[in-house]
Chain A
Amino acid sequence: MSLFKLSPIAAKQWQRFKSIKRGYYSAVIFIALLVLSLGAELLVSNRAILVKYEGNYYFPTYGGIIPGRSFGLDYDYETNYRDLKNQIGENQDNWVLLPPVPYSPLENDFQSLEYPPYGPSMENSHYLGTDTTGRDVLARLIYGFRIAIGFSLMLLFFNYIIGISLGSMMGYFGGWFDLFFQRLIEIWSNVPFLYVVMIIASIITPGFWTLALIMIVFGWMSMTWYMRTVTYQEKAKDYVMAARACGASHSRIMFRHILPNTVSLIVTFLPFSITSGITSLTALDYLGFGLPPPTPSWGEMLSQGIQNLDAPWIVASVVGSMTVVLVMVTYIGEAVREAYDPRKFSTYE
């Protein structure tokens, strides 16, 4: 970690964080999962990673589709690389390198004489089985994770931008501005979010961005209260007055002087906001008001799993992964909070 020059305080906090083992390792694993999920196409996809055919190399993973005809097959739609691999067989010159899980999260894989859901099978590379329409559970799990985490991070970003700026302004300006927004937020937070989503989902089929927008519109409030309070606190301190005396503008004081001093608060909330983003998306998908089918989603898998308890691999996979992810995030959050706590030992009476 010598890439960055950390301030002595930050270095201390980092040390502290590292010393809390379960939080630290959770963070390492979580970041690794995040990075891996960004490259999910290389691990889980119906497209081959590398194909050598007639002396040419193909990298089908990224970019446009390669029609079957390019490989001597008789169709124009996307090559089925699993079939291609079987057809080429043991040929030395031509070969196909498939990802470890050779299925896309959207494709139906039907086996003859049997109906899905199929149980976990090493032979068919369905390591966690398939769902009721023959889609690979692991593939949907991984892409679902990526979508959930992406959604959650984006939600967090916008919620924090709005919540932090408005909260700081309320704390900083106080007076009528503060009063007005307090009342506004009180009213606004009483609008039942779930009903609004249900109403909107019944009129239009929400996509990723519409859903994100709805959730931002109803999700920015909670951060304002905390920011308002800390800003009030900070505003009364001498350095603010000094900055004022030097002629700093309001926005400069708020964002350059006060904000850095509230970072510990923001950082402490971060992991929990991520969790809540994931759970609310999952909950909405579970209820059927979330992302449109056939988007891979944990909520949709959960509801499918509960309807098909005789195919326990569906529900077990999704509940298992969800538990692991949420527990990890909670550990991270705990460690971060601990690291930012100036008191090393606390006693509560």
Chain B
Amino acid sequence: MNKILKIISASLFAVLLIGCGSEQQDPTETVLEAQVLAAYPISELTEELIWETNLDDPIFADPQAIKGGTLRMYNSAFPLTLRSVGPDSNNQMRTLVQGNQLGLIDMHPVTDKVIPVLATHWAYGNDGKTIYYKLNPQARWSDGKAIRADDYLFTLDFMRSPDILAPWYNNHYTTEILEVKKYDDLTISVTGSTAKPKADLHYYYSISPTPRHFHILNEDWVKNYNWKIEPNSGPYKITNIRKGKYLDLELKKDWWAKDLKYFKYRFNVDRIRVKVIRDEEIAFRHFMKGELDLFPIKAPKFWHERATGPLIDNGYIHKIQFYNNIARSPFGFYLNQDSKPLDEPGMREALASAINFDGMLENVLRGDYERLPSFNTGHGKYSNTELTAPKFDLDKANALLDAAGWDTRDSNGIRTKNGEALNFGITYGTAIHTDGLVYLKEEAKKAGIELRLDMLDAASFFKKLNEKTYQLAMLSFGVGYRPAYWQHFHSENAHKPQTNNMTNMDKPEIDELIMQYRAATAAQDRERLSRDISTLIHQQGAFIPGYYAPYTRSAYWRWLRLPSFVGTAQNSSPFDLFGNTGGLFWLDPKIKEETLAGKKAKQVFEKQILLDTQHKVQ
């Protein structure tokens, strides 16, 4: 399994799924009913525990929300499986499945404190790596069965099983999550491999239950469970699929958690239909015809050009640009320091000064994106906000290159040294970047640097990354709740294939800080160390920060309503469907009627293009 996907999955709490009979009755189900599963052994609780809970934080939903209706949206592909682990499970529609598998606890998106979900209480063990949970006795799977301690213990067996063909999960649940113990049906503990600060334990050592009564693990599991709908614990369940056409999710009528404090007034729509429309342009036409309620229009082309006209001017369709404040993916150029001449700090600095990201953002991307300041951005106190991205500076680049001996130019104006021309290959994996890179290439020529654009298809791109045979790689990593340095910058992962140290960073001083960061248990120490590491990495110049969008943009029909506060700072979009920020919006049938009638009668409503900057980081 490739590393990039691993990291992306690592940012999510461990979860699973797998479906039970969807369209047809499945024979194994009845067999399972009859099968009596032996319970896991009960351990003895030896520690004195102080149980904590949190029901005092404010709710983050709008009491005005109206329940009901069908949200119609689209996706460009139908998933190859409904499993959330195993081959092909890392697909675009995964959140529909995984988003409905709750964790034990979650983070409050406003206060950033722990809130109860499947667990009602939690307590910390004295060893700093164990966390105890009291389970909510009301919790039910979508098939009505109670969620009990055994389902959590089964998670470990399940995730460690070679039958699921998911090496990353096999490894994570062996080396990171060491043990899950059961004290009675409603009390468990999770033990991880290393001690972590108390505030972060939940992030690292939380797991999700797996419906034990549903899975039969054997070598055919991947095949047998490909299209089965796994019982889940979240608000929606998949009720209807037509492969290649659409997928329906329905709100559970008597969802066990619907009256829990932090779930109130959320998950308002009764049904979510995800249509498969393979072409974005065609999907947009569907949206403009009113066949979809919602359309993401992040790309400048859509926001500025496509999503304009009478439908918007007359107020039938609203647009929103919503700024959030979440950790930013480290997108940019990763310089392979094992590839000459990138081993010289001066050359890396010269190259960074010859890459005109700012000009590209302004000219090619219409000033819609912001320059990423450094590798670690948006992690709150874990980020050093004083770091800034290197500026395009030809004088500096020229001076550095002259000093490094690249002081002659060939007939094309490219610098040479000992008869060799100064060129760097940029490896990247999607055609979306070509326009921007073409601009960077022309700009770098001014400093006498030739950039070669090596575009590969996704699979070969990841292969090349894993083998580290690139010079410059343009890519991004998924980010977790806390910055992770060891995998990206520790020398243990340098100079060898199949690791995430994309820059082949090998600096003892960075190693030392990373080890301290991993071992530190006080939040303040960790924050300080994280900032220090960020600074050192930044000084090395092996990562040239690219850009990011600090917002999402959507177009939506007028009847789709948002809370008065629009969304929390943690919302990746105000229309998040699931997770700790999901389900805030609702559909208003009266307004829908009014809008459709008004559209026929050419009535004009108030035009609304909302620029929500309340969470914008200045």
| Interface check A83, CB cutoff 8 A | no
Docked Cα-Cα span, A168 to B205, in Å, equals 74
> Are B448 and A77 closer than 8 Å at their CB atoms?
yes
| Chain B min CB distance to A198 (Å) | 8
User: Whose C-beta in chain B lies nearest to the C-beta of A310?
Assistant: B305
Q: Is A57 an interface residue (CB 8 A)?
A: no
B363 and A134 within 8 A (CB): yes
Contact A292 B453 (CB under 8 A): yes
Pairwise interchain contact B363-A65, C-beta atoms closer than 8 A: no
Given contacts A77-B445, A108-B438, A293-B438, contact A115 B366 (CB under 8 A): yes
Q: Which of A54-84 contact B (CB under 8 A)?
A: 63-65, 67, 75-78
Say yes or no: A293-B434 contact (C-beta < 8 A), given A65-B409, A133-B439, A202-B460.
yes
Chain B residues with CB under 8 Å of A288's CB are 431
- Tell me the residues in window 113-136 of chain A with beta carbons closer than 8 Å to chain B beta carbons: 115, 132-135
A292 to B435, CA, bound (A): 13
Q: Establish whether residues A203 and B413, one from each chain, have CB atoms under 8 Å apart when the complex forms.
A: no
Q: Which of A134, A201, A293 has the most CB of B within 10 A?
A: A293
Q: Return the chain B residue nearest A76 by Cβ.
A: B398
CB atoms of A205 and B413 under 8 A apart? no
Are B435 and A132 in contact, CB atoms less than 8 angstroms apart? yes
Write the B449-461 contact mask toward A (1 if CB under 8 angstroms, else 0): 0001111110110
B278 within 8 A of A: no
Pair A78/B455 contact, Cβ less than 8 Å: no
Are B454's CB and A110's CB within 8 A?
no
A77:B411 contact, CB within 8 angstroms: no
Please report which residues of chain B, range 271-301, place their CB below 8 angstroms from some CB of chain A when the two chains form the complex: 300
Q: Is the CB of B411 within 8 A of A75?
A: no
Q: Is residue A106 within 8 Å, beta carbon to beta carbon, of the partner chain?
A: yes
Do the beta carbons of A205 and B456 come within 8 Å of each other? yes
Contacts of B447 in A (CB 8 A): 77
Is B410 part of the binding interface, using a Cβ–Cβ cutoff of 8 Å?
Answer: yes
- For this complex, into which size category does the number of interface residues on chain A fall? 20 to 34
Does B442 contact A108, Cβ atoms closer than 8 Å?
Answer: yes
Report B325-348 residues with CB < 8 Å from chain A CB.
Answer: none
B438 shortest CB reach to chain A, Å: 5
State whether A133 touches B364 (Cβ < 8 A).
Answer: yes
Nearest CB of A to B422, in Å: 13
Query: Would you call B460 and A133 a contact (CB within 8 A)?
Result: no
Is B394 among interface residues, defined by CB-CB distance under 8 A?
yes
Is the C-beta of A8 less than 8 angstroms from some C-beta in chain B? no
Beta-carbon nearest neighbor of A131 in chain B: B435
The verdict on A247 contacting chain B, using a C-beta distance below 8 Å, is: no
Bound complex: CA of A77 vs CA of B366, how far in Å?
26
In the complex, the answer to whether B442 meets A205 with C-beta atoms within 8 Å is: no
A108 touches B363 (CB 8 A): yes
B418 within 8 A of A: no
Chain A, range 93-148, C-beta contacts under 8 Å to B: 106-108, 110, 115, 132-135
Within 8 A of A (CB), among B410-469: 410-413, 431, 434-435, 437-439, 441-442, 445-448, 452-457, 459-460
Residues of A near B394 (CB, < 8 A) are: 75, 77
Contacts of A106 in B (CB 8 A): 438, 442
| Nearest opposing residue in chain A for B366, CB measure | A115
**A211 to B: closest C-beta gap in Å:** 14
> How long is the Cα–Cα vector from A111 to B457 in the complex, in angstroms?
33
Query: How far is B447's CA from A142's CA once the two chains are assembled, in angstroms?
Result: 28
Interchain CB contact under 8 A, B459 and A202:
yes
A294 close to B (CB within 8 Å): yes
* Measured CA separation A63–B409 after assembly (Å): 13
- A64 with B434: CB separation less than 8 A: no
Quick one: given A132-B435, A310-B305, are A64 and B410 in contact (CB under 8 Å)? Answer: yes
Residues of A within 8 A of B411 (CB): 63-65
A153 to B495, CA, bound (A): 45
Question: What separation, in Å, do the CA atoms of A77 and B356 have in the docked complex?
Answer: 15
Residue of A nearest to B460 (CB): A202
Across the interface, do B457 and A292 meet the contact criterion of CB distance under 8 Å? no
Closest chain B residue to A78 by CB distance? B413
* Chain B: minimal CB distance from A299 (Å): 13
Task: Show 11 A/B contacts (Cβ-Cβ < 8 Å), sorted by A.
Answer: A63-B411, A77-B446, A77-B447, A78-B446, A108-B438, A108-B442, A133-B364, A135-B438, A203-B456, A292-B455, A294-B434
Question: What are the nearest 6 A-B pairs in CB distance?
Answer: A64-B411, A77-B446, A65-B413, A202-B457, A110-B363, A294-B438
Q: Besides A77-B394, A293-B434, A294-B453, 18 other CB < 8 A contacts?
A: A64-B410, A65-B411, A67-B413, A75-B394, A75-B446, A78-B445, A78-B446, A108-B439, A108-B442, A133-B435, A133-B438, A135-B438, A201-B457, A202-B457, A205-B456, A293-B455, A294-B438, A310-B305
Q: Which residues of A contact B (CB under 8 A)?
A: 63-65, 67, 75-78, 106-108, 110, 115, 132-135, 201-203, 205, 288, 292-294, 310
